[in-house]
Structure 1
Amino acid sequence: MKKILFVTSEAHPFIKTGGLADVSGSLPKALAELGQDIKIIMPYYQAIKTFSKVYVRCSLRIDNRDIKILETHMPGSLIAVWLIDCPEFFQQAGNPYVDELGNPWSNNAERFALLCQIAVEVAMNRAQLDWQADIVHCNDWQTGLVPALLSLEDNRPACIFTIHNLAYQGLFPSSVLTSLNLPGQLWQPEGLEFHSMLSFIKGGLVYADRITTVSPSYAQEIQNAEFGYGLEGLLSHHNERLLGIINGIDVNEWNPETDSYLHKHYNSDTLNQKQDNKTALQNQLSLPINNNIPLIGLISRLVEQKGIDLILDCLPELLTMPVQFVLLGSGDKVYEQQLHHLMDLHPGKMSITIGYNEALAHLIEAGADIFLMPSRFEPCGLNQMYSQRYGTIPIVRKTGGLADTVIDSIPETIANNTATGVVFNAANASALMEAIKRTLILYDMCDIWEDMQKNAMSADFSWQQSAKQYLALYNTILPLKRH
């Protein structure tokens, strides 16, 4: 049994802004099921939801601040969650990274440096918790200072740093160095300095024993200029320490046989009952009830990364076809306005829901026939895996985790019964439109379509697969000599 400290800025179901929270809520549970002693540490935000008793475990003094570490538990498990209670930093209204107006917190460097400092104290058994980590598993830029600070410790734990999205790097002006009180030897071009700025993510990339990212294809892509965001040279230099492990999904939460949000449960042997969810979705969104017309779904942040502009370019032509289109998401206000304008022009063919609604997300995955995910880049992606589990055929661009989890429907894969979706290459509207037309042709080929649905539903996207790979990785680094 290994003692693993899992350091994160968010975890579902406590607080969630994106896929990092899903990973932080699921991977520790899968590792615990494999017999590991894992603890999660994260900030105690004002917006956090707790599901069991919360109590004070210890108090620390860091940089003249009195900090409490609270303990609660992950719902449905015995995993302890340690919450860093610092009201000055974490008790304001807003989400973990931005205020109520959507602006980044002005003291984000100080806030997440504190998370990192306390994680190091806990990992080194200096926090009165009587627990010392064998492995510290850090996630994204908010935790990047942990490997850097641990590098200065004797007899330190082994350290993993996972990149969930390299586009977000935690870059701050060098002037914050004074308030962060970081050891001077870390401030160098081979350390935390990046073009005269402080880079939190470089702390993870330079100092961790192993770097992982959330799909094998993304691990390759970030070593190139298009996806490397200026760090491709560093990642290429350290590529012997870089590994891609595909994220899993919560197969209990996303299960069409038991999903409480569905109108009718179904599996690959009762696919006809999927239609009841399509009818329920059409009814809920005031679309004409029609089982024969293909219903295309999309759940996404409305930002360029997700290819929303490509979809907007395709929609005028797509909506002349016998299809329905439903979208759930929020983001760029210009995209939101364009979508609403198109909905006004095509009543009865299109439904737009701005915001996020968990119940509607599940019903879209079950009720749609086709799911669109034309991301320009996608480190892993989850919705393409949810869709396959629900027998909803994904259309994806060949990038990152989308390329690793969807098998394109070409003559060979249709013939050998492995096709699970439709994949296209170029990040432009004509390539996406061609993929949509190809999918609509397959939709009319009932036997082939049903085979694709069954192939997709039989894929194993469970966290157990990913957790075993992480555990194997932990085993490779534990024998390394710690200085």
Structure 2
Amino acid sequence: MNVVIASSEVFPFSKTGGLADVAGALPKALAQNGLNISVFSPLYKTVDRSSLTIVSNVEVDFNHTKTSINLYETQQNNCTFYFIENQNYYNRDYLYGIGAQDYEDNALRFGFFSKAVLDSLKTLNIIPDILHTNDWQSALINVYLKVFYKNIFTKTKTVFTIHNLGYQGIFDKNYMNNLELPWELFTIDGLEYYDKINFLKGGIVFADAVTTVSKTYALEIQTPEFGFGLDGLLKKFSYKLSGIVNGIDVDVWDPKSDKFIDYNFNNPKDKIKNKNALQKLLGLPIKEVPVFGVVSRLAAQKGMDIFSSSVKELLESNTNVQFIILGSGEKDIEDQLSQLASQYKDKISLNLKFDEPLAHKIYASSDFFVMPSKYEPCGLGQMIAYRYGTLPIVRATGGLKDTVKNYSNRSKNPTGFVFEKYDSKELTKTIKKAIELFNKKDELLKIAQYVMSLDYSWKNQAKEYIKLYKKIYGYR
């Protein structure tokens, strides 16, 4: 089966979040199952070109202009990765914008990407059985395919994956002309959304199958609370909507071989060496206290507003803990945490940046990993934490609800701590329960050993995608 995946970011070439991890790991798992896999992504300024070669020159007809671009290629994990060059659109310091401010021309940047993927396939004479697009940035591929390329890709079926419905790619309707989209598509049944263009809506409407990244999230997005204005549309298309939980790349996240951690280990009782090394690195007191790790975008969606309130409450009551936080995001949350970090230097290490090596160290060193998300389509952090014998503390939403089993005196094979109500006091109570478990060393060790044995690799999840591919293409 010939599968083409399009993603606006792909690890290890470009990354702002979980989409890149999925777009890097899923192709490898699909290839290991015998599929022929190609991946397309923009050639950003930040992509390391040392392993790339120019494979073709492609003429892209976009915005009423013919643009000649170089198409770059590299091979990795039995997959072919293609990168679309456009100096005007992608030769920038950031992928989508500066800080919280998106680039003003993102409609054109990713409209061009969508058109260029299809023109590249035509030039290379690649006719995919499945074209798998991801999030709003590649959603117009589904539209362009059905409108302009249906006579070329006559048998190609499309799968569209929603990684986070909160980001939809909504732009002024006048972009219809720049994107060369027929105005008859600008209807409530097409791309129109409150008199604007909605890229993600187009991806849903024109796809043959729509997936999202957990079973619970597939249900949640059909409700007004989590539907972000598209719950009615998703109910209408529920017959082609399904949830497939993400996996993680177990070669990248492996405590036995992880090159970023100080001491490799196979037993959680040996984590103490990593904990002490990280405490020393970050200037925290080296002592045996429960360490709570956070690797997250510091945003309300991720629960960081209730987290900062909970941390304040715990530290004001002189709780004997340490928090190690990595990430950046909304200024008010950054400011709240910065104030706490300056006040409690011996209990908080706040690192307002993206740092891949430090992320690995936090997973390997923490006793607990905090993910109190308001909503969470899937979440990879809890699965990565398991690999390192670190117990997640999560709110019961989306993929977190699907993958974490709450600890209690009655639960069999618990894997972490789950709370229901989105409230800082509920989070504080849950953290206190984790501290109680920390003081029961043998029980904590037993649970940590169990979660390290869990398999959340792409090996199983890739098979779910293959089933879906075969179903919509008509394979038996």
TM-score for the superposition, normalised by structure 2: 0.95
SS at structure 1 position matched to 2:358: helix
One-letter amino acid of the counterpart of residue 405, structure 2: I
CA offset digits 1:109-129 (Å, max 9, x no partner): 111111111223345xx22x1
Query: Alignment partner for residue 120 of structure 1, among 118, 121, 128?
Result: 118
Cα shift at 1:156: 4.1
Query: Alignment partner for residue 478 of structure 1, among 456, 473, 476?
Result: 473
Contact conserved, 2:176 with 2:182, CA < 8 A, in 1? no
Query: Alignment partner for residue 367 of structure 2, among 364, 369, 380?
Result: 369
Cα shift at 1:186: 2.1
Match of 2:421 in 1: 426
CA offset digits 1:337-388 (Å, max 9, x no partner): 2212112222211111110111111111111111111000111111111111
Cα shift at 1:249: 0.5
One-letter amino acid of the counterpart of residue 97, structure 1: Y
Cα shift at 1:332: 1.6
Match of 1:245 in 2: 244
Match of 2:448 in 1: 453
One-letter amino acid of the counterpart of residue 447, structure 1: D
How many residues end up aligned between the 2 structures?
467
Query: Alignment partner for residue 383 of structure 2, among 372, 382, 385?
Result: 385
SS at structure 2 position matched to 1:262: coil
Match of 1:222 in 2: 221
**Greater shift in the superposed pair: 57-66 or 191-200:** 57-66
CA–CA separation in structure 2 for the residues paired with 1:240 and 1:133: 24
Match of 2:69 in 1: 68
One-letter amino acid of the counterpart of residue 188, structure 1: T
**Greater shift in the superposed pair: 159-168 or 329-338:** 329-338
CA offset digits 1:67-102 (Å, max 9, x no partner): 324232254x232212111222222x2322114x65
SS at structure 2 position matched to 1:83: strand
One-letter amino acid of the counterpart of residue 445, structure 1: K
Match of 1:30 in 2: 29
Contact conserved, 2:60 with 2:119, CA < 8 A, in 1? no
SS at structure 2 position matched to 1:35: coil
Query: Alignment partner for residue 316 of structure 1, among 288, 312, 318?
Result: 312
One-letter amino acid of the counterpart of residue 300, structure 2: E
Contact conserved, 2:303 with 2:372, CA < 8 A, in 1? yes
Match of 1:48 in 2: 47
Pairing 1:272-291 to 2, within 5 Å after superposition = 272-291=269-288
Cα shift at 1:323: 0.8
Cα shift at 1:463: 0.8
Q: Does 1:265 align with 2:258?
A: no
One-letter amino acid of the counterpart of residue 84, structure 1: I
Pairing 1:161-180 to 2, within 5 Å after superposition = 161-180=160-179
Match of 2:97 in 1: 98
| Segments ≥4 residues shifted beyond 3 Å | none
Structural RMSD (CA): 1.5
Match of 2:83 in 1: 83
Match of 2:200 in 1: 201
Q: Does 1:300 align with 2:299?
A: no
SS at structure 1 position matched to 2:402: helix
- Does the C-alpha gap of structure 1 residues 106 and 353 become closer, same or farther in structure 2, counting only changes over 3 Å? same
Cα shift at 1:61: 3.6
Contact conserved, 1:13 with 1:49, CA < 8 A, in 2? no
**Greater shift in the superposed pair: 336-345 or 191-200:** 336-345
CA–CA separation in structure 1 for the residues paired with 2:361 and 2:50: 25
One-letter amino acid of the counterpart of residue 26, structure 1: A
SS at structure 1 position matched to 2:297: strand
Contact conserved, 2:28 with 2:78, CA < 8 A, in 1? no
One-letter amino acid of the counterpart of residue 78, structure 1: N
SS at structure 2 position matched to 1:330: coil
CA–CA separation in structure 1 for the residues paired with 2:213 and 2:3: 19
SS at structure 1 position matched to 2:422: coil
Contact conserved, 1:174 with 1:196, CA < 8 A, in 2? yes
CA offset digits 1:394-445 (Å, max 9, x no partner): 10000011111111112332xx3x1110000011111101111111111112
One-letter amino acid of the counterpart of residue 272, structure 1: K
One-letter amino acid of the counterpart of residue 301, structure 2: Q
- Structure 2, gaps ≥5 residues long: none
CA–CA separation in structure 2 for the residues paired with 1:134 and 1:455: 40
SS at structure 2 position matched to 1:344: helix
One-letter amino acid of the counterpart of residue 349, structure 2: S
One-letter amino acid of the counterpart of residue 231, structure 2: E
One-letter amino acid of the counterpart of residue 74, structure 2: H
CA offset digits 1:147-176 (Å, max 9, x no partner): 122223141400000000000001011111
- Does the C-alpha gap of structure 1 residues 163 and 61 become closer, same or farther in structure 2, counting only changes over 3 Å? closer
- Does the C-alpha gap of structure 1 residues 458 and 452 become closer, same or farther in structure 2, counting only changes over 3 Å? same
Contact conserved, 1:122 with 1:132, CA < 8 A, in 2? no
CA–CA separation in structure 2 for the residues paired with 1:384 and 1:437: 19
SS at structure 2 position matched to 1:459: coil
Q: Does 1:462 align with 2:457?
A: yes
Contact conserved, 2:132 with 2:158, CA < 8 A, in 1? yes
One-letter amino acid of the counterpart of residue 103, structure 1: Q
Contact conserved, 1:422 with 1:435, CA < 8 A, in 2? yes
- Does the C-alpha gap of structure 1 residues 144 and 412 become closer, same or farther in structure 2, counting only changes over 3 Å? same
Cα shift at 1:274: 0.8
Match of 2:403 in 1: 405
- Structure 1, gaps ≥5 residues long: none
CA–CA separation in structure 2 for the residues paired with 1:206 and 1:419: 40
Contact conserved, 2:326 with 2:350, CA < 8 A, in 1? yes
CA–CA separation in structure 2 for the residues paired with 1:337 and 1:224: 33
CA–CA separation in structure 1 for the residues paired with 2:140 and 2:361: 40
Match of 1:339 in 2: 337
CA offset digits 1:277-306 (Å, max 9, x no partner): 000011111111112x11111111111111
CA–CA separation in structure 1 for the residues paired with 2:112 and 2:36: 24
- Does the C-alpha gap of structure 1 residues 97 and 90 become closer, same or farther in structure 2, counting only changes over 3 Å? same
CA–CA separation in structure 1 for the residues paired with 2:52 and 2:230: 42
Contact conserved, 1:166 with 1:229, CA < 8 A, in 2? yes
One-letter amino acid of the counterpart of residue 113, structure 2: L
TM-score for the superposition, normalised by structure 1: 0.94
SS at structure 2 position matched to 1:151: helix
- Does the C-alpha gap of structure 1 residues 51 and 404 become closer, same or farther in structure 2, counting only changes over 3 Å? farther
One-letter amino acid of the counterpart of residue 317, structure 1: E
CA–CA separation in structure 1 for the residues paired with 2:404 and 2:54: 44
